[in-house]
Amino acid sequence: DAGVIQSPRHEVTEMGQEVTLRCKPISGHNSLFWYRQTMMRGLELLIYFNNNVPIDDSGMPEDRFSAKMPNASFSTLKIQPSEPRDSAVYFCASSLMGQGGEQYFGPGTRLTVT
Amino acid sequence: QKEVEQNSGPLSVPEGAIASLNCTYSDRGSQSFFWYRQYSGKSPELIMFIYSNGDKEDGRFTAQLNKASQYVSLLIRDSQPSDSATYLCAVNNAGNMLTFGGGTRLMVKP
Protein backbone atom coordinates (compact mmCIF):
# COMPACT_ATOMS: atom_id res chain seq x y z
CA ASP A 1 0.00 0.00 0.00
CA ALA A 2 1.26 3.44 -0.86
CA GLY A 3 1.54 5.81 2.05
CA VAL A 4 0.95 9.53 2.01
CA ILE A 5 2.71 11.09 -0.96
CA GLN A 6 4.06 14.62 -0.93
CA SER A 7 5.75 16.71 -3.59
CA PRO A 8 8.14 18.29 -4.00
CA ARG A 9 10.46 16.82 -1.36
CA HIS A 10 12.65 19.91 -1.39
CA GLU A 11 11.84 23.43 -2.50
CA VAL A 12 14.17 26.41 -2.57
CA THR A 13 12.66 29.70 -3.59
CA GLU A 14 13.24 33.40 -3.29
CA MET A 15 11.30 35.67 -1.01
CA GLY A 16 8.12 36.92 -2.66
CA GLN A 17 7.62 33.89 -4.88
CA GLU A 18 4.58 31.64 -4.76
CA VAL A 19 5.08 28.14 -3.38
CA THR A 20 2.68 25.23 -3.84
CA LEU A 21 3.02 22.02 -1.86
CA ARG A 22 1.09 18.93 -2.84
CA CYS A 23 -0.26 15.93 -0.98
CA LYS A 24 -1.97 12.68 -1.87
CA PRO A 25 -3.49 10.96 1.19
CA ILE A 26 -3.71 7.23 1.76
CA SER A 27 -6.47 5.78 -0.35
CA GLY A 28 -9.68 5.46 1.67
CA HIS A 29 -8.67 7.98 4.31
CA ASN A 30 -11.13 10.84 4.70
CA SER A 31 -9.23 13.25 6.93
CA LEU A 32 -6.18 15.21 5.85
CA PHE A 33 -3.87 17.40 7.93
CA TRP A 34 -1.17 19.93 7.07
CA TYR A 35 1.58 20.48 9.67
CA ARG A 36 4.65 22.65 9.84
CA GLN A 37 7.73 21.67 11.85
CA THR A 38 10.57 23.92 12.97
CA MET A 39 13.19 23.54 15.67
CA MET A 40 11.79 26.51 17.55
CA ARG A 41 8.07 25.71 17.44
CA GLY A 42 7.98 21.96 16.97
CA LEU A 43 5.11 20.36 15.07
CA GLU A 44 2.21 22.75 14.44
CA LEU A 45 -1.14 21.92 12.88
CA LEU A 46 -1.97 24.39 10.15
CA ILE A 47 -5.30 23.12 8.83
CA TYR A 48 -7.30 19.94 8.52
CA PHE A 49 -10.02 18.62 6.25
CA ASN A 50 -12.74 16.04 6.78
CA ASN A 51 -14.31 14.67 3.60
CA ASN A 52 -12.58 17.43 1.59
CA VAL A 53 -14.11 20.19 3.75
CA PRO A 54 -11.83 22.46 5.82
CA ILE A 55 -12.75 22.00 9.47
CA ASP A 56 -10.17 23.99 11.41
CA ASP A 57 -7.75 26.49 9.86
CA SER A 58 -6.92 28.33 13.08
CA GLY A 59 -3.30 27.28 12.76
CA MET A 60 -2.77 28.97 9.40
CA PRO A 61 -0.28 31.74 10.24
CA GLU A 62 -1.72 34.47 8.06
CA ASP A 63 -3.52 35.22 4.82
CA ARG A 64 -0.44 34.37 2.79
CA PHE A 65 -1.25 30.72 3.47
CA SER A 66 -4.12 28.91 1.79
CA ALA A 67 -5.08 25.26 1.43
CA LYS A 68 -7.48 23.40 -0.81
CA MET A 69 -8.73 19.88 -1.16
CA PRO A 70 -10.59 19.64 -4.48
CA ASN A 71 -11.12 15.88 -4.16
CA ALA A 72 -10.47 12.97 -1.83
CA SER A 73 -7.07 12.19 -3.29
CA PHE A 74 -5.38 15.57 -3.58
CA SER A 75 -4.64 18.63 -1.48
CA THR A 76 -2.47 21.72 -1.90
CA LEU A 77 -0.93 24.18 0.50
CA LYS A 78 0.00 27.49 -1.10
CA ILE A 79 2.13 30.30 0.26
CA GLN A 80 1.95 33.60 -1.61
CA PRO A 81 4.12 35.59 -1.22
CA SER A 82 6.70 33.48 0.58
CA GLU A 83 8.98 34.90 3.28
CA PRO A 84 12.21 33.58 4.85
CA ARG A 85 10.35 32.84 8.11
CA ASP A 86 8.23 30.31 6.21
CA SER A 87 11.30 28.07 5.92
CA ALA A 88 10.37 24.79 7.60
CA VAL A 89 9.43 21.20 6.90
CA TYR A 90 5.79 20.85 5.89
CA PHE A 91 4.11 17.52 6.53
CA CYS A 92 0.84 16.16 5.27
CA ALA A 93 -0.89 13.41 7.25
CA SER A 94 -4.08 11.44 6.71
CA SER A 95 -6.40 9.35 8.83
CA LEU A 96 -9.72 7.54 8.78
CA MET A 97 -12.42 9.35 10.73
CA GLY A 98 -13.85 7.45 13.63
CA GLN A 99 -10.83 5.21 14.07
CA GLY A 100 -9.42 6.90 17.16
CA GLY A 101 -7.27 9.50 15.51
CA GLU A 102 -4.33 7.50 14.13
CA GLN A 103 -2.58 9.73 11.63
CA TYR A 104 -0.01 8.65 9.07
CA PHE A 105 2.52 11.15 7.83
CA GLY A 106 4.01 11.74 4.43
CA PRO A 107 7.76 12.25 3.93
CA GLY A 108 7.45 16.04 4.12
CA THR A 109 8.56 18.96 1.98
CA ARG A 110 11.60 20.89 3.15
CA LEU A 111 11.02 24.51 2.16
CA THR A 112 13.80 27.06 2.11
CA VAL A 113 12.95 30.68 1.32
CA THR A 114 15.97 32.88 0.68
CA GLN B 1 -5.17 25.72 25.92
CA LYS B 2 -4.82 21.96 25.59
CA GLU B 3 -1.23 21.02 26.28
CA VAL B 4 0.97 17.97 26.00
CA GLU B 5 4.25 18.15 27.88
CA GLN B 6 7.40 16.11 27.39
CA ASN B 7 10.93 16.45 28.69
CA SER B 8 13.00 17.48 25.70
CA GLY B 9 16.01 15.42 26.82
CA PRO B 10 18.30 14.14 25.61
CA LEU B 11 17.63 10.94 27.49
CA SER B 12 20.74 8.81 27.31
CA VAL B 13 20.60 5.07 28.05
CA PRO B 14 23.12 2.29 27.46
CA GLU B 15 22.41 -0.39 24.90
CA GLY B 16 20.27 -3.16 26.36
CA ALA B 17 18.72 -0.99 29.07
CA ILE B 18 15.09 0.07 29.41
CA ALA B 19 14.29 3.56 28.11
CA SER B 20 11.36 5.28 29.82
CA LEU B 21 9.71 8.20 28.04
CA ASN B 22 7.03 10.24 29.76
CA CYS B 23 4.24 12.57 28.73
CA THR B 24 1.57 14.52 30.60
CA TYR B 25 -1.54 16.14 29.13
CA SER B 26 -3.92 18.79 30.37
CA ASP B 27 -7.29 17.83 28.87
CA ARG B 28 -9.12 15.28 31.01
CA GLY B 29 -11.46 14.58 28.13
CA SER B 30 -8.68 13.15 25.99
CA GLN B 31 -9.67 9.83 24.47
CA SER B 32 -6.69 8.28 22.73
CA PHE B 33 -2.95 8.54 22.96
CA PHE B 34 -0.17 7.97 20.48
CA TRP B 35 3.59 7.62 20.34
CA TYR B 36 5.45 8.60 17.20
CA ARG B 37 9.13 8.05 16.48
CA GLN B 38 10.96 10.59 14.33
CA TYR B 39 14.45 10.00 13.05
CA SER B 40 16.48 13.07 12.14
CA GLY B 41 15.41 14.39 8.75
CA LYS B 42 12.47 11.98 8.51
CA SER B 43 8.74 12.18 9.15
CA PRO B 44 6.97 11.03 12.34
CA GLU B 45 6.19 7.32 12.32
CA LEU B 46 3.35 5.90 14.43
CA ILE B 47 4.68 3.17 16.70
CA MET B 48 2.06 2.75 19.47
CA PHE B 49 -1.41 3.86 20.42
CA ILE B 50 -3.42 3.25 23.57
CA TYR B 51 -7.01 4.02 24.46
CA SER B 52 -7.60 2.38 27.87
CA ASN B 53 -5.95 2.65 31.25
CA GLY B 54 -3.18 0.16 31.81
CA ASP B 55 -0.43 -1.30 29.69
CA LYS B 56 -0.26 -2.23 26.04
CA GLU B 57 2.69 -4.23 24.77
CA ASP B 58 3.99 -4.58 21.22
CA GLY B 59 7.33 -6.32 20.91
CA ARG B 60 9.94 -4.32 22.81
CA PHE B 61 7.54 -1.40 23.27
CA THR B 62 5.04 -0.93 26.12
CA ALA B 63 2.68 2.02 26.33
CA GLN B 64 1.24 2.85 29.74
CA LEU B 65 -1.78 5.07 30.36
CA ASN B 66 -3.06 6.52 33.62
CA LYS B 67 -6.01 8.80 32.91
CA ALA B 68 -6.48 9.74 36.57
CA SER B 69 -2.96 11.15 36.66
CA GLN B 70 -3.15 12.39 33.03
CA TYR B 71 0.03 10.57 32.27
CA VAL B 72 1.17 8.35 29.43
CA SER B 73 4.52 6.68 29.03
CA LEU B 74 6.48 4.57 26.58
CA LEU B 75 8.92 1.91 27.70
CA ILE B 76 11.48 0.51 25.29
CA ARG B 77 13.06 -2.72 26.49
CA ASP B 78 16.48 -3.92 25.33
CA SER B 79 17.21 -0.50 23.81
CA GLN B 80 19.25 -0.54 20.62
CA PRO B 81 21.30 2.23 18.98
CA SER B 82 18.71 2.14 16.18
CA ASP B 83 16.11 3.35 18.72
CA SER B 84 17.96 6.68 18.92
CA ALA B 85 15.40 9.21 17.70
CA THR B 86 12.95 11.82 18.92
CA TYR B 87 9.75 10.38 20.39
CA LEU B 88 6.60 12.46 20.08
CA CYS B 89 3.60 11.99 22.34
CA ALA B 90 0.25 12.93 20.80
CA VAL B 91 -3.21 13.18 22.32
CA ASN B 92 -6.60 13.06 20.62
CA ASN B 93 -8.94 15.58 22.22
CA ALA B 94 -11.79 15.90 19.77
CA GLY B 95 -12.63 14.65 16.35
CA ASN B 96 -9.53 13.64 14.49
CA MET B 97 -7.19 16.34 15.77
CA LEU B 98 -4.00 15.45 17.60
CA THR B 99 -2.08 17.71 19.94
CA PHE B 100 1.63 16.90 19.91
CA GLY B 101 4.19 17.32 22.63
CA GLY B 102 7.57 18.82 21.86
CA GLY B 103 9.25 15.42 21.79
CA THR B 104 11.95 13.68 23.80
CA ARG B 105 15.28 12.96 22.17
CA LEU B 106 16.52 9.48 23.03
CA MET B 107 20.15 8.46 22.64
CA VAL B 108 21.10 4.79 23.03
CA LYS B 109 24.82 4.38 23.46
CA PRO B 110 26.58 1.16 22.39
Span B48-58, pLDDT tens digits: 999 999 999 99
The answer to whether the Cβ–Cβ distance between B46 and A50 falls below 8 Å is: no
- Using 50, 70 and 90 to split pLDDT, how confident is the model at B95? confident
What's the mean per-residue pLDDT of chain B? 94
Cα gap B56→B42, rounded to integer Å: 26
Cα gap A83→A98, rounded to integer Å: 37
- A10, A91, A102, A110: best to mutate for the B interface, most B CBs within 10 A: A102
Mean pLDDT across the stretch B83-98?
90
Peptide bond into A54 cis (omega under 30): no
The length of chain A is 114
Residue type, A111: L
User: Taking CB atoms and an 8 Å cutoff, what residues of chain B touch A50?
Assistant: 95-96
The answer to whether the Cβ–Cβ distance between A50 and B103 falls below 8 Å is: no
Three-state SS for chain B is CCCEECCCCCEEEECCCCEEEEEEECCCCCCEEEEEEECCCCCCEEEEEECCCEEEEECCEEEEEECCCCEEEEEECCCCHHHCEEEEEEEECCCCCEEECCCEEEEEEC
For B43, which of A95, A97, A107 is closest by C-beta distance? A107
Report the residue of chain B nearest A88, measured CA to CA.
B41
Quick check: A87 and A79 in contact, CB under 8 A? no
Most confident of A85-94, B2-11, B23-32: A85-94
Does position B14 have pLDDT exceeding 80, yes or no?
yes
User: Taking CB atoms and an 8 Å cutoff, what residues of chain A touch B3?
Assistant: none
The answer to whether the Cβ–Cβ distance between B44 and A105 falls below 8 Å is: yes
- What does the pLDDT profile of chain A (114 residues) look like in tens digits? 689 999 999 999 999 999 999 999 999 999 999 999 999 999 999 999 999 999 999 999 889 999 999 999 999 999 999 999 999 999 999 999 876 789 999 999 999 999
Between positions 45 and 84 of A, the ones with CB within 8 A of B are 45, 48, 50, 55-56
Q: Does A101 touch chain B (CB under 8 A)?
A: yes
Q: Does A90 touch chain B (CB under 8 A)?
A: no
- Using 50, 70 and 90 to split pLDDT, how confident is the model at B81? very high
Look at residue B86 in the predicted model and tell me its pLDDT. Answer: 98
